[in-house]
Amino acid sequence: MNKARVAFKTFGCKLNFSESSALSRELAENGYNPVAIDEKADIYVIHTCAVTSQAESKCRKAIRQAKRKNPDSIVAVMGCYSQLQPEYLAGLEETDMIIGNAEKFALQECLKLFRTAKTKGMHVSDVQTHTDYFPAFSSGDRTRSFLKVQDGCDYFCSYCTIPMARGRSRSQPVSETMKLAEKAAATNAREIVLTGVNIGDYGKNTKENLSDLMSAMENLDNADRIRISSIEPDLLTDEIIDHIASSGKFMPHLHLPLQSGSDAILKLMNRNYDTELYRDRVRRIKDTMPHACIAADVITGFPGETDLNFKETCNFIDSLDISYVHVFTYSERPGTKAARMKNKVPPREKKSRSHYLHILSAKKKQYFYGKNRGRKVPVLFESDIQKGHMYGWSDNYIRVKRPYNPDFVNKIIPVTINRMDNNGIFFCNETSRE
């Protein structure tokens, strides 16, 4: 069966996507035939997420759809949902294999065992006992590659299951990470995105740090751009900010999770900073990079969040020079401290607060885009074509489109961004070519 057709369906974070890509390449190198998820396959691998109940629901739907496509297929379910709820997933009629976060990197061996035993396979161990680190990067997108540089988390936020699903923080030495980065860059990806669970913790187990890795990556050949996917505010040092500001490779774009603008709620969430520190980090970024894009995550409807707490969050966001907000409605996760908290926010109130935050985010983005209108920015154009247009991202993460030109695919083109379409995407005037 080594010519079996295998399809991956991946949910959740960019870390999952980088791992799925690495596993798909490994199977292809060993004789399997990768196909798209909407094709009939012999093996379906569902790489799951468990960050919210909605994410879990989407995973279950994908499992059912896979089995319907081919009732004789092997449906292997792996990832965070598998790690946290293996017995539940094993009880689903459509599942054939349940694979935990430590075992998924032995996917090929798990498939061989299933074909031998012909019984439902359960390959899940306590991830807290594992110290192994498995490198990964995504390929197949000519424009960018997601490079896994860190896994696990030593932060135990009261709402989060990631430490239980991914284990403790760990990474490889800079020297080993650079070997992987060179492989990612050799795929012709012009942009490398550093990803992990808590990448600000990079090097904790090797007595190195993220700044050390950033310095090494300045010498990375074949990749012109590097982005940091997300970093905790308390781990964003002046050194990291200054490095990005002076770099020719690192982009002026930071994803800085906030979660709440109320110090009382941040304390209940067991976050490692307060609003004063967060404001200082935003100010420091903007002082050194005035046109930098700063994205924030916010959770609304957390247990105990009063009307006053929510108002504090809105006022705090409104006062910050951030670019937009990713809004998450609190989703109770079994086994977390928050799940045992009292004073739950009613669903209707959570929905109302989420709606207001989306409006506030749109206002922040409109202001950020307005400050950039008329600027000349370098845009990396992608191969995607929609209604005769091609799309790309500026260095500070503004979505841009222009009439399709095949010569511009995977090229960095300096353009002037001017008017926006109805979807908030900038049209550009070509000014020169790289």
SS (H, E, C) 132-200: CCCCEECCCCCCEEEEECCECCCCCCCCCCHHHHHCCCECCCHHHHHHHHHHHHCCCCCEEEEECCCHH
> Cα(156)–Cα(158) distance, rounded to whole angstroms?
6
Our count of domains for the chain comes to: 3
Which residues span the domain enclosing 415?
A: 376-430
Q: Is 284 part of a structural domain of the chain? A: yes
Output phi, psi for 228, to 5 deg.
-100, 120
Q: According to the model, what pLDDT value does residue 434 have?
A: 47
Is 330 in the same domain as 386? Answer: no
Same-domain check for residues 256 and 341: yes
Q: Are residues 167 and 309 in the same domain?
A: yes
Q: Look up residue 128 and give its DSSP letter.
A: G
DSSP assignment of 275-298 equals HHHHHHHHHHHHHH-TT-EEEEEE
Residue 130 lies in a domain: no
Residues 381 and 358 in one domain: no
- Residue 285 forms part of a structural domain: yes
Residue type, 125: S
Residue 198 included in any domain: yes
Q: What is the CATH number of the domain that holds 402?
A: 2.40.50
Q: Are residues 112 and 251 in the same domain?
A: no
**Is 230 found in the same domain as 330?**
yes
Strands 144-148 and 136-137 turn out to be: antiparallel
Instruction: Give the Cα separation of 24 and 419 in Å (integer).
Output: 41
**Same domain assignment for residues 220 and 140:** yes
Whether the Cβ atoms of residue 121 and residue 96 lie closer than 8 Å to each other = yes
**Are 247 and 119 part of one and the same domain?**
no
The answer on 340 and 197 residing in a single domain is: yes
Is residue 206 within 8 Å of residue 177, measured between CB atoms? Answer: no
Beta strands 144-148 and 399-403: pairing type? unpaired
Which stretches of 326-387 are DSSP H helices? 347-372
Each as own residue / partner, the long-range contacts of residues 203-211 (CB below 8 Å, 24 or more positions apart, any chain) are: 203/171, 203/173, 203/174, 204/154, 204/169, 204/170, 204/171, 205/131, 205/169, 205/170, 205/171, 206/171, 206/172, 206/173, 206/174, 208/173, 208/174, 210/235, 210/240, 211/237, 211/239, 211/240, 211/243
In tens digits, the chain (434 residues) has pLDDT values of 558 999 999 999 999 999 999 999 999 999 999 999 999 999 999 999 999 999 999 999 999 999 999 999 999 999 999 999 999 999 999 999 999 999 999 999 999 888 887 677 889 999 888 889 999 999 887 799 999 999 999 999 999 999 999 999 999 999 999 999 999 999 989 999 999 999 999 999 999 999 999 999 999 988 999 999 899 999 999 999 999 999 989 999 999 999 999 999 999 999 999 999 999 999 999 999 999 999 999 999 999 999 999 999 999 999 999 999 999 999 999 999 999 999 999 999 999 999 999 999 999 999 999 999 999 999 999 988 888 899 999 999 999 999 999 999 999 999 999 888 878 888 886 554 44
382 shares a domain with 357: no
Which residue from 198, 99, 85 is spatially nearest to 152, judged by alpha carbons? Answer: 198
As given in the structure block, the two tokens for residue 326 are 């990713």
Taking the C-alpha atoms of residue 271 and residue 427, their distance in angstroms, rounded to an integer, is: 40
Look up residue 57 and give its two tokens: 């629901």
Q: Assess contact for 303 and 272: CB atoms under 8 A.
A: no
Which amino acid appears at position 119 of this protein? T
Which of 125, 152, 167 is at the close of a domain?
Answer: 125
Q: What is the pLDDT of residue 429?
A: 63
CATH code where residue 18 lies: 3.40.50.12160
Same-domain pairing of 158 and 246:
yes
Domain co-membership, 279 together with 406: no
Question: SS3 of 90, please?
Answer: helix
Q: Which of 355, 372, 389 is the last residue of a domain?
A: 372
Neighbour order of strands in the sheet with 253-255 = 253-255, 293-300, 324-329
Q: Residue 407: inside a domain, yes or no?
A: yes
Q: Is 131 part of a structural domain of the chain?
A: no
Q: What is the DSSP letter of 352?
A: H
Which residues, 6 or more positions from 13, have their beta carbon under 8 angstroms from its beta carbon? Answer: 49, 51, 195, 197
Residue 47 Cα distances to 80, 134, 190, 193, 318, angstroms: 8, 16, 26, 20, 37
Last residue of a domain, one of 372, 393, 411: 372
